[in-house]
Amino acid sequence: MISENEQDNLIRTVWREENKINNNEDNSQNNNNEFEFESTFSGGIFSNDQSFLFNQNTNEIISPTERETVKDKFYKNRVLILKHIPFIIPFEVRVNMFRAMIEQDKRNRTGPFEWSSPVTRATIRRDRIFEDGYDQLNSSNLRQKVQISFINEQGLPEAGIDGGGVFKEFLTSITHQAFDMNYGLFLSTSNQCLYPNPHSYARQDERLRYYEFLGRILGKALYEGILVDVFFASFFLSKWVKLGGISYLDDLPSLDEELYKGLLYIKNYKGDIRDLSLTFSIDDEQFGVAKSIDLIANGSSIPVTDENKIQYIYHMANYKLNTQIYPQCKAFFRGLSDLIEPRWLQMFNQQELQTLISGSNSASVDIIDLKMNTEYSGVYDENHPTIKLFWQVVNDLSEEQKRKLIKFVTSCPRPPLLGFKTLQPKFAIRDSGNDQERLPTSSTCINLLKLPVYRTYDVMKSKLIYSISSDSGFELS
């Protein structure tokens, strides 16, 4: 286990190196890290006076001229561990480091007075969320605070001031729409995981600008710690970690399991491979028309043989995993890197990155944790009879129903990465009248459940299950 003090020291060390990379170190940061160096080395490993450092483990005296070398090694070793073998550091610690780097980045951009920092404002029509978002928020200044005003379906401005909750609703709504396969920018694998559409029309200039915008939107979700209910194919997530890096044959099952098995069949084929009548080409359907595409120059004229079948397997996998979607990925990562420094993502593997995006996919929702981090308003407090009934019902729900409840209130069916204590705003319950026929409603933008003052367990359970199973979410009535 890493202690809280060690975790803080590690975060300061990494941020020191981040500042060096960005060429914006100042004296105060140097002083902070000097203190961190001294306090760490005086914690049982080194002690120092004005003239030397003393290694208590080896009884070695370190001269003042060697001091800076020792300090550089101290910092660099920590950063090298994080860069090359980050997984020896617990995931929760790396998440805290990721969040700390983002918070420091925000402070560097806003200065000491957050209230005076610039704000990006956008007016969004509810029936044109993607189009209005693209027109008004498709720039590189999304690290600034964003405030959203909604226009309803009748063309009227919705009341309220965006303190963060309305923007969260916008973000979850636009990702739900833009990553829908019907929108044509992303396709789904057999496991219902998304990857960029390889179709030629997705490589048109306008579509590539959409991909760049979506990279910024996902980057903003990560930057603000807002979970979105979107799952990506593992091979595509690996490119996030490598910022557009190459995917290999071992990544192919996450895209096309059958093609992967077919290529392994070719690799292990015992007969004459020419019996399969393969060439270095692939038939790809575009706009309903089959088109032969060469994997190498003049590939359609080059037969696959026992001597070159490994090359064929490589080129086939490379085409599917890389070549087909290279422009789409390049545009997406260009947008993503406007918000999230690539170095920050290299601390995580594909599965951990998916958890950063959409939350923990653990086997069960921790209801005790949820209850401890729930706030009440109106007539409710933790001792109110209706609230006691509510938690009795929640404890009796199936795991699937518990996830539906979380989604109904927060818009995401998975708990926050580091528990409900980190959910912002807090999970909250407010009364909504005494009508026993009224259904619970929710305001997902502020994680608020509006719960009528039910008097019996059976009514509470039936009404709650009906609402969370409707999959309607915001302001169901």
> Token pair of 285, please?
């359907």
Instruction: Classify residue 425 by its DSSP letter.
Output: S
**Amino acid identity for residue 116 in this structure:** S
For residues 35 and 52, give the distance between their C-alpha atoms in angstroms, rounded to a whole number.
Answer: 16
With 0-12 CB in 10 A as exposed, 13-18 as middle and 19+ as buried, what is 103? exposed
Nearest to residue 463, comparing CAs of 444, 437, 443? 437
> How many of the other CB atoms lie within 10 Å of CB of 319?
18
Contact 97, 87 (CB under 8 A): no
> Token pair of 252, please?
């192919």
Nearest to residue 436, comparing CAs of 458, 469, 406? 458
**Amino acid identity for residue 228 in this structure:** V
For residues 217 and 140, give the distance between their C-alpha atoms in angstroms, rounded to a whole number.
Answer: 11
Residues serving a catalytic function are 445
> Token pair of 234, please?
């593992």
Distances (CA, A) of 377 to 166, 226, 381, 384, 445: 20, 24, 7, 11, 17
What kind and span of H or E run contains 430?
strand 427-431
Distances (CA, A) of 366 to 147, 371, 380: 32, 9, 22
For residues 315 and 367, give the distance between their C-alpha atoms in angstroms, rounded to a whole number.
Answer: 49
> How many of the other CB atoms lie within 10 Å of CB of 246?
12
Alpha-carbon torsion angle 199, 201, 202, 203, nearest 10: 100
Contact 217, 256 (CB under 8 A): no
What kind and span of H or E run contains 443?
strand 441-443
**Amino acid identity for residue 5 in this structure:** N
> How many of the other CB atoms lie within 10 Å of CB of 455?
12
Name the 3-class secondary structure at 319: helix
